[in-house]
Amino acid sequence: MRNTMKAMVYYGENDIRFVDRPVPELLDPDDVIIRMTKTTICGTDLGIWKGKNPEIQLVSRQKTGHFSGRILGHEGVGIIDQVGPAVKNFKKGDKVIISCISRCGTCENCQKKLYSHCLNGGGWILGYMIDGTQAEYVRVPFADNSLFMLPSGLDEDAAVMLSDALPTAHEIGVQNGNIKPGDSVAIVGAGPVGIGCLLTAQLYSPFQLIMIDVDENRLAMAASIGATETINPSQEDAVAKVRQLTGERGVDCAIEAVGIEATWNICQQIVKEGGHLANVGVHGKPVSFAIDKLWIKNLTVTTGLVNTNTTAMLMKSCCTGKLPIDQLITHHFHFDEMEQAYDVFKHAADQKAMKVIVEY
């Protein structure tokens, strides 16, 4: 194996570079080193690029006294190249899906299946607290609990979606939203996670699936894969339209899948009494919570970071064809084109991009 590799590295706000970095080494007995074959870009990566997570630099300086950059990315598939002596479930040469959540499996939170808050240095760490997947090689800690064997019949592009986008949508949107047969559901935000909510919600047979977004291209995609109605807030009053579609009642579940105040406000105005408001979007700023109007409505409001405890189930659903997740993929790039891939994903509306796949 070479000593250096190419990687997409974050150095500070508005400063990411495609540079040479040292190939990672095994640090702990439960580590593996994976040679990446496919990765992608997440909206969270764009947020880091824009300076949304200054704690990356702060924590690094507290631990080591300096910040030398962070390799981005927490999604992808690859082939195991090196295996730590404590790893039991995987071997060199195995093709695996990398989970966005690393988990020790033994701490108090892991025993509660609250893997995103692993107390032993796990949780969302790849591309955040440790170097991530947008490189030729990546070190994955807690390998036995943080990888999934890639099924032979599963398309690798679809497998990349199982790292983060699909389980996030399912667990934090659909499951937290308590979607049941016959429910009315509104999803505000037709990005990759919002579309993932649309797909996985259909596993629970809701009556109505309303997609709300300002991007007509994304609304058209949503309509083609299960949305019963679409609403563009730039062209009509989204709240009034939802009320009209629901007999002035509102929806049983409103899913916020963007992470800005405007979309949050739509959600808190369209959920009916006894309903669920499931926040999936990553918010970088506070929003106004209309408690004066909502206190009386017997609502359940949920937040969360994905635990990836339904990834295995979703993987089987993808293998059966019940989740056409590959339809989210709109662009392909070679790893050498990583900078171009970021530019396309950053300007997704102009480029009609949903999810990009980067191949090595």
- Domain map of the chain by residue range? 4-163+326-359, 166-302
- Whether the per-residue pLDDT at 280 is higher than 70: the answer is yes
Q: How confident is the model at residue 262 (pLDDT cuts 50, 70, 90)?
A: very high
Q: How confident is the model at residue 4 (pLDDT cuts 50, 70, 90)?
A: very high
Degrees, nearest 5: CA angle 184-263-15: 135
Query: CB-based contacts of 172: which residues, under 8 Å, 6+ apart?
Result: 278, 279, 280, 302, 303, 304, 305, 306
Tens digit of each residue's pLDDT (9 = 90 or more) over 114-123: 999 999 999 9
CATH of domain 4-163+326-359: 3.90.180.10
In angstroms, rounded to a whole number, what is the distance separating the alpha carbons of residues 214 and 210? 13
Identify which of 25, 32, 115 has the alpha carbon closest to the alpha carbon of residue 79: 32
Identify which of 312, 307, 311 has the alpha carbon closest to the alpha carbon of residue 110: 307
What pLDDT does 14 receive?
95
Neighbouring CB atoms inside 10 A of 359's CB total: 14
Domain 166-302, classified CATH 3.40.50.720, yes or no: yes
Average pLDDT of the residues in 220-235 = 97
Average confidence score pLDDT of the chain: 96
Query: CB-based contacts of 247: which residues, under 8 Å, 6+ apart?
Result: none
What pLDDT does 1 receive?
62
> Quick check: 223 and 203 in contact, CB under 8 A?
no
Tens digit of each residue's pLDDT (9 = 90 or more) over 93-111: 999 999 999 999 999 999 9
Neighbouring CB atoms inside 10 A of 320's CB total: 8
Whole-structure pTM value: 0.95
Tens digit of each residue's pLDDT (9 = 90 or more) over 281-292: 999 899 999 999
Task: Map residue 223 onto helix, strand or coil.
Answer: helix
Percent of the chain with pLDDT over 90: 94
More confident residue, 1 or 109: 109
What pLDDT does 315 receive?
96
Percent of the chain with pLDDT over 70: 100
What pLDDT does 349 receive?
92
In angstroms, rounded to a whole number, what is the distance separating the alpha carbons of residues 18 and 66? 20
Distances (CA, A) of 283 to 112, 115, 152, 156, 305: 25, 21, 37, 30, 12
> Quick check: 17 and 9 in contact, CB under 8 A?
yes
In angstroms, rounded to a whole number, what is the distance separating the alpha carbons of residues 179 and 175? 7
Tens digit of each residue's pLDDT (9 = 90 or more) over 193-207: 999 999 999 999 999
